[in-house]
Structure formats: C-alpha cells, structure tokens
Amino acid sequence: MTSTLPRAADAAQAYRFEHGYPADAAVAQIRDDADLARAVTAYRFWYPTVSAEGIFNGSRELGLEDGRTMAVMATSPRQVGFTLNSDTPYGAAALDLTGGPMVVELPAGPYIGLVDDHHQAWIADLGIPGPDAGKGGRHVILPPGYTGAVPDGHHVGRAATYKVLLAVRALPLDGNLGRALDALRRIKVYPLGHPDRPLEIVDTTDRDMDFTCLRWEDDFEFWQVLHRVVETEPVIDAYRGMYGLLTTLGIIKGQPFTPDQRMTSILSRAARIGRDQLLVSAFASARRDRMAWPDRRWEWAGLVPDDPDFQTPVGLDLEARDRWFAQAIVASPAMFRRQVGGGSLYWLAARDATGAYLDGGANYTLVVPQPVPANLFWSVTAYDAQTRSQVQAAQGRAALRSLVELRGVTGTDPVTLHFGPTPPAENSDTHWIQTVPGRGWFTYLRIYGPEQAAFDGVWRPGDLTRA
C-alpha cells in the first residue's frame, strides 16, 4: 500500500520536523518566519493608512491645523507628494469630524474634488464628477455613527473615520492658474450650522512641503505611526480580520505598543520587504491587464476600472491596490473611470521602447499624435522613481500641459516632447522636461474628459525613445 503521509521536500524540511512535530531547534526560526509573513501582509494592507497620515503630517509641519485650515497651492516639484501634478491648483484640508459634521460649499464652476477617509477609502466626489455636476452645491460629511438630523439640500457623505481628507482641484480651462487659485479660495468649509466659522485658507504655493510617508515607509516608525492612527480612529467592521493580524504584532487598540527587541527587528525588516513588494507591483508587475496597448510600453496606472475600493466581481484586487498606493494618493470612482467623457485616464511609462527603465542621465523623445482625444485637457508629468514625486531639477518644472506650455499646439501634426538632463536644440521652454542623472524616473500621461479614440486604439502615444 502506498503511503499517503507527506514526505519532507528537502533536507531543511526533514531537519525542522521530527515525527510530525517541529524540532525544538527550529521552533524559534519558524516563529520568526510566521511573524515576518504576518507583518508583511499587514504592512501592505495598512500602507494607505500610513500614507494618508503622511498627507496630514505635511500640512501640520507648516503649522496648518486639522479642521481649521485649508491649503491652496499651484503645485510644483517643491511640493513632494506621490504623483501630485501641476495640471491644476489644489485645495486640501484635513477635516476633523470629532466635533460633528462638516460642510463643503462649492460654487458653480470647473471643480473636481473628493473626500477620502483616514484609510484613503472613498467617501464622496465633488464638483464635475460629483452629484452637483459642477453646478455648485453643499456637501455634508457625517462622522462615524452619526444619528443626528441630516440637513435638506445637502449631498451626504458618511465617513468611517474622524479624520478625513478633502482634496479639490480647480481646472484652469483658460490656462490662467491664478484665476484657478482664486476659484479655490471661493470654497467654504465649515462645521454644520456654523457658516460663520469657515476654515482659514492659506496659500502654500511657495512653501516646500512633503505630503508623503517616505520617512516612515521602510523602517520601524511605520508601525508607530500606524499604532497612533489605530488608537484615534474607530474600528471598521470590514477590516476586522486585518485588526486581528495587527494584534499578533502587538498593535492593539487601547493598549500601548511596546514590542520587544525581537519583534522590533521583525517589524523593521517587514517594512523594508513590504515596501519593496509594493514597488514591484507598481513598476515591475507581470500582469497582462496592466498594458494599455499591445504594441506599446504604456501601462494603466490603475488596474480596476470604476471602483475606488479595488473590488472586482471575485473580490478585492490586492495587487491593484498595492500598485496604486505605492505610486499615488487618494482614490475615487472618477479617477478610475474608463468611459467616454467621464473622469480621467492615467497611463504610466517607466520603460523606454526597448524595455529599459528610464534613466535620468539620458535624453528621450516622446511623440504624441494630435489631436489628443481630451475634451478638457491633457498633460505629461515626469516623476522621480525614488520619491514617486515630481522630478526636482534645476529647471523647476516637471510637467508639460496642454493648457499652459503646449497651449500653442494645434492641428494634426504630432508633437515631439523631450526629456533628459540637457535641453533640445529647439522648443526647450515649452517641449522639454529636465531629468536628473543618477536617478530613475517615470511619467504619467493624463487625459481629462477622454473621447472615444482614447479607448478604441485609434489614438495611442508613441513610446519613449532614447536619443
């Protein structure tokens, strides 16, 4: 009779188990391996939470208080944030719902906005992609467990956390960034019932800011930041399994976080491994559905259309979630909507036409067929691979925008854009982005208000070609 008992696959397996029991000499290593595996899984799941705290922390470092101020800025490379862009000015605020609901009052106009919770889970869209459709309106954001009256005439968003992120963009459809900044200043944010107590608006255009979790993402401090958030926010039912995973690592709501030397070492290692795994999902994924066109190197930045929570008919797409939050911040249906005229399309290129990663010390060209099928506008932005933020070079610019630098591009002739440490012979002011030797980079091509040709393959950009 053939035995059905499992056999040791190799010498290590035979060493670690004796008669079905773990060998005493192997137990400590097996425990470490198990805790490391749990910690890496927890890291990847809770990364968006720590990243959101990085966004809030960036404002706090400038003295902007949660629930009291809203920053507005015409963004540039000096504002460090995962794939922030300079296409439009931003308005951003950390809303504090511990005192009750908050109202966001938008005038009519070309605004695109959202509210996400402390875990970067979507709560509401505002402006053109939202229920007010750009016609103006009041949006009320209710805190967790709110049972009070909901005011008439308000669009309602229900938050699962007390700290939430408001992010609004004003589209400079006439190419005038100053007017778009003024449009952001007309937004009013205030506690429900107290329009006389609006958030103070502070212009941070000329301030250096860091909205990222880069300083925490690959070491033990990641877990300390996560513990602070877990302490201050309600438990979310849908995440209970992941809270359970945290308890095995010593992060328990209502209890101090005091890991011993062994667990501290494991958690530090898990942060490095987890971060590396996220970056592989972002820039070296093997998924076939990431490719935008079969004969191009361009990839979809977001892999799950329409759903900001990365849900598919068969469940949560964890790698798509990893990929997005390693590159970017915030999520909403409009950001992933692949439909004519709706939302925006984001494509990523990290490799040139030969398949090599983009090198900041080399010069490249990109041919963009015209007209680009964008009902609103389009742009190309260069990002530093290490910071996932706009390239910081002496030029001081990392974007080429159809509303600004490329405003004069008309007709049907393709436009050639240039990237590299040295400017091209012509059009260096309007068709070139400077990159930095010794640093890798990637680019996003964005289309706002996409038209049919962006979907059916009639229009497609060239690949980046090394000069």
- pLDDT at position 19 is 80
Residues 6+ apart with CB under 8 A from 405: 399, 429, 430, 431
Question: Which of 431, 139, 460 lies closest to 296, judged by CA?
Answer: 460
Residue in the structure block whose two tokens are 């942060």:
271
Record the tokens describing residue 2, joined without a space: 């053939």
- Vertex 217: Cα angle to 270 and 70 (nearest 5): 150
Residues of the chain with pLDDT under 70: 1-15, 342
Residue with tokens 């002011």: 429
Q: What is the pLDDT of residue 308?
A: 87
The whole-number pLDDT of residue 56 equals 97
Residue 192 — left, alpha, or beta (φ > 0 → left; ψ -120 to 50 → alpha)?
Answer: beta
Supply the DSSP string of 248-300, one letter for each residue.
TTT--TTS-----HHHHHHHHHHHHHHHHHHHHHHHS---GGGBSSTTSS-EE
Q: How many CB atoms lie within 10 A of CB 7?
A: 7
Q: Which amino acid is at 141?
A: I
pLDDT at 13: 52
pLDDT tens digits for range 233-262: 999 999 999 999 999 999 999 999 999 999
Catalogue all structural domains in the chain, each as residue range(s) with its CATH number.
Answer: 22-53+215-280 (1.10.3360.10), 69-206 (2.60.40.1610), 286-466 (2.60.120.600)
Contact 377, 401 (CB under 8 A): yes
* Coil, strand or helix at 39: helix
pLDDT the model gives residue 2: 47
- Predicted local confidence at residue 342, as pLDDT: 67
The per-residue pLDDT for 381 is: 98
pTM score? 0.93
